[in-house]
A and B are shown apart, each in its own frame.
Chain A
Amino acid sequence: MKRSFGSLRVIIPVLLVLPFAYRGASWLVRATPQTHYDVEMATAGRDLFVHEWTPNDPLAGGGDGLGPVFNAKSCSQCHKQGGLGGGGPLENNVTTFTQIDNPVEDARDAANRALRNTRNQQAAPAQTSGTAKGSRQGVVHKFATDEQFAETLFLLAPTFPKSSPPPPLSDLLPKVQRDCTTAPNIGIVTGMDVSQRNTPALFGADLIDAIPDETIIANERAERLKWALADSDTDDYPVGRALRLVDGHVGRFGWKAQTTTLGGFVRAACANELGLGNPSQPQPVSMAKRDYKAPGLDLTNEQCDQLTAYVGTLGHPVEEVPDSPALAHQAAEGKKRFDLIGCSDCHKQDVGPAKGIYSDLLLHRMGQTLVGGGTYGDLPPNLPDFAEGGAPQSSEWRTPPLWGVADSAPYLHDGRAADLNQAIELHAGQAKSVADKYKQLKWEQKEELLAFLRTLRAPKSAERDSQPQL
């Protein structure tokens, strides 16, 4: 073949360079900040954040206001530890359920399942109710605006008492973790999982929102390389996986990393916790009265953006080095210990622009003692569909960021750990080996590690506010 093809000498190099040019251009575009928060928007959002909603609230626009089912009357009622936007105590836990092989389904459930099966965003035509088996998952709301909307576990399965409220956490723990003085297990039926979710802190959410998807995926690949290409479905090595949704983005908000953006996370919380329907997420329908339909949406897009702007300006947790040299040295030694025993395998210090986050934002298998199914949005049909790898398993949890951990007790997904020491010891699954190493540490070494964790505080600029009571 002659080497004097003039046109080929131009075409071939261009074709070879084209992919590099395309990828470089896409990276340059991505490097530009995608979001910035307006001060006025954030101020208006703050008002919405602390606003105590009521049924037919005047701020609700065309909707029914608070409810019909809800877990709190305002955002600040739960997000208050360490300041506005922080975590929540045990009494504000949210009860979730996952029911497998439910013999009774309604048209909406069938549509949800069809949506999940076909993996596209357009809802499948609703089918008539029948006896086909399926699965359901959602939230058992604590309160209702009217008795007719009140949700109980009896609605999930007739084995529960008819007027059973959501059970306390102690009744949902595995037997090995339950305090023997509490009431016995309420006897959850086979195929049903009832668990709780503790309110997470919202500090630094803007930084998490700014992390590119590629950075989280890079964490996933780096962990696989480090552990000899082990897969994430093993309990032997701390190899996590990035949860990919069908829109191609990677989840990073929520206990199961089921939400990709801060705005989506805020809107889902408004709908599911306060019963405030919005353009992205309609309000949940009560399990007791499924035929109730809201007259309209409670929040507008602008109101949601204002809330998002406020959450995005909440401030970033800090690592406060103690003034005392002895305590500072102890914390420094604890930081080394944190890395030595393997905590940093999952709790990575920095991820992209989020410095000091101490989380890889990946899903990790945490063993059968820490299972918890259920997620937002079973009713109405707004359950996010998951790509590659499927939906998060019941034992999989996103590595929670440790920044601000000193001010966000209790710990773990349902707050079962009252303090940091208990939280570390309850790690299982992929983290079991690390928990075992922690248990074998000397008392002084444990104190050093805990001293380091206690330096991770909520931002000092966090606003302290008195909380309304129900």
Chain B
Amino acid sequence: MAIDVVCECGKRLKAPDWMAGRSTQCPACWNSVSIPRPRLFGLLGPAKQKRGESPRPADANTPPPDAAPAANSSFRPSNGQPGAPVGDPFAGEGRSTAFIKPKQPPKNRKTTFVPTRALCNGDDYQPNSVMLRTQPRWVKLISDRSKQQWYHSLAFPFEKLPIFLRLGLLQSVLTTAALILWLSMERDSPHKAQFVGCLFVCLCGVLFVLGHTFHYFNAILEMACHGKIQYEPGIGCTAVGALVSCGHWLSCLLAGPVLLFAAAVGFWLYCGDLTIIDWSILVELCLAAVGWWLIALLLTNLDDSVRVASPVHVVATALTMPWEFAGLTVLASAVFLGHLLVAGYAIGQLHVTPLTAFPLLWVCWSSGFYLTAFTFRRIGLTYYRAQQRLVGRKHTGAMPVVALRHQGDIQEERSRESVTLVQQHLGRPSK
């Protein structure tokens, strides 16, 4: 769900949920725009504007739609359409004279804007809105941002580390509480219903927190699949968004990988003492399950349909992927299995030495989030490059991205389709 914001200049902006509470710049006037936080996880809508706060949510207090964009804006409308809708950066020149000279953006702002991916394909592009993302400040340190190494993907989620630690702590607390409730529950206890209820609440809490991280991982995957790996989405979404993301991941899991996971658990139970052969079987089952799950998530993120998570589509996609994807699947499986083993050990030690086991569980959760973000970014980029090779494009790591710097420069898209769309909206004939 997006957050509607109206800048002082009248431009209507639409920000994704994860930008709630953050500041950015209006593409029209370069004024600072703060994205308000939705109340109660978005259930009650955006927060009311505080005094002196420049951003205003799109509510009844929205200023009359007669403000014109900045005179020196690169999005000066040129189609000569009087009375065009306000906020349309591509509206006509015969606009109302209500003109506000935009403030000069501060020099130290690094925020840039990226139109939605819809801009690239033009299917659902809405000229009244611009989706906002942020580019980390250190990206400029990369000499050629069109060519990124694998270790750059480690740096992007690094700024989220404090959030991962907080989420990991929350998950550890919820997990420990759930375990305590499970162990305290007795079959013939008169308070069994209360225990079950509390246990259900704890599990819902775990899923809810996971839903937030799943939403973040989905954003990473989607952006990377479209080659937009220079940008880092934020963590945070509404309650509905978290539940939707959680349901998305669960549906992909239930579409097939759950059978392989169940086979692995059943094998571990009944195989006796593990030998190298048994470990090989467990690793292979885990590898297949995680790989299937990854491809299903990738396809459903791109297609927005659960049907593509079927085994046929998954196998077809797997066969088109390069060997690098197999390596990434091994990495993802190693991350998953490794963290599972460590978490299991930590849970077992909670009974004996809780003071050492709880921090271990905390670190396990946090590092799991971090490494998953890294893995998803790499997987998305691998998919993107594989697709580019399939269609015969010779992109040497360049991303079809439209980025607007705060200095007002326009960096044109490198993909042909995106340039065409931008020119159309500017009223210029396509080349």
A231 touches B351 (CB 8 A): yes
B186, B188, B280, B323: the one contacting A19 at CB < 8 Å is B280
Q: How far is the CB of A328 from chain B (nearest CB, A)?
A: 22
Residues of B within 8 A of A217 (CB): 272-273
List 19 additional A-B contacts (Cβ < 8 Å) besides A248-B273, A341-B187: A1-B322, A3-B323, A20-B281, A23-B281, A214-B272, A217-B272, A218-B270, A218-B272, A221-B268, A224-B348, A227-B183, A228-B182, A228-B350, A228-B351, A231-B348, A231-B352, A234-B351, A237-B183, A340-B188
Q: How far is the CB of A237 from chain B (nearest CB, A)?
A: 7
B328-356, CB < 8 A from A? 344-345, 347-348, 350-352
Q: How far is the CB of B266 from chain A (nearest CB, A)?
A: 10
Per-position binary interface string of chain B over residues 177-214, scored 1 when its CB falls under 8 Å from any chain A CB and 0 otherwise: 00100110011100000000000000000000000000
Please, which residue of chain B has its CB at the minimum distance from the CB of A227?
Answer: B183
B66 at the interface (CB under 8 A from A): no
Q: How large is the interface on A (under 10, 10 to 19, 20 to 34, 35 or more residues)?
A: 20 to 34
Q: How far is the CB of A7 from chain B (nearest CB, A)?
A: 15
Residues of B within 8 A of A227 (CB): 183
B351 touches A230 (CB 8 A): yes
Q: How far is the CB of A14 from chain B (nearest CB, A)?
A: 13
Please, which residue of chain A has its CB at the minimum distance from the CB of B188?
Answer: A340
A3-59, CB < 8 A from B? 3, 16, 19-20, 22-23
Please, which residue of chain A has its CB at the minimum distance from the CB of B320?
Answer: A3
Residues of B within 8 A of A3 (CB): 322-323
Q: How far is the CB of B323 from chain A (nearest CB, A)?
A: 4
Please, which residue of chain B has its CB at the minimum distance from the CB of A228?
Answer: B179
B267-307, CB < 8 A from A? 268-273, 277-278, 280-281, 284
Residues of B within 8 A of A16 (CB): 284
Can you list 16 contacts pairing A with B, beta carbon distance less than 8 Å?
A3-B322, A3-B323, A19-B278, A19-B284, A23-B281, A212-B272, A213-B272, A218-B269, A218-B272, A227-B183, A228-B347, A229-B347, A230-B348, A340-B187, A341-B188, A342-B186
Residues of A within 8 A of B179 (CB): 228
A396-411, CB < 8 A from B? none
Chain B facing A: main interface SS: helix
A419 at the interface (CB under 8 A from B): no
A236 at the interface (CB under 8 A from B): yes
B76-108, CB < 8 A from A? none
B322 touches A22 (CB 8 A): no
Residues of B within 8 A of A213 (CB): 272-273
B183 touches A228 (CB 8 A): yes
Q: How far is the CB of B242 from chain A (nearest CB, A)?
A: 26
B351 touches A236 (CB 8 A): yes
CA distance A236 to B281 in the complex (A): 34
CA distance A221 to B268 in the complex (A): 9
A215 touches B187 (CB 8 A): no
Q: How far is the CB of B260 from chain A (nearest CB, A)?
A: 13
Q: How far is the CB of A37 from chain B (nearest CB, A)?
A: 26
A244 touches B281 (CB 8 A): no
A214 touches B271 (CB 8 A): yes
Residues of A within 8 A of B269 (CB): 218, 221-222
Residues of B within 8 A of A237 (CB): 183, 351
A437 at the interface (CB under 8 A from B): yes
CA distance A217 to B351 in the complex (A): 22
CA distance A234 to B353 in the complex (A): 12
CA distance A222 to B322 in the complex (A): 40
A23 touches B277 (CB 8 A): yes
Residues of B within 8 A of A218 (CB): 269-270, 272
B187 touches A22 (CB 8 A): no
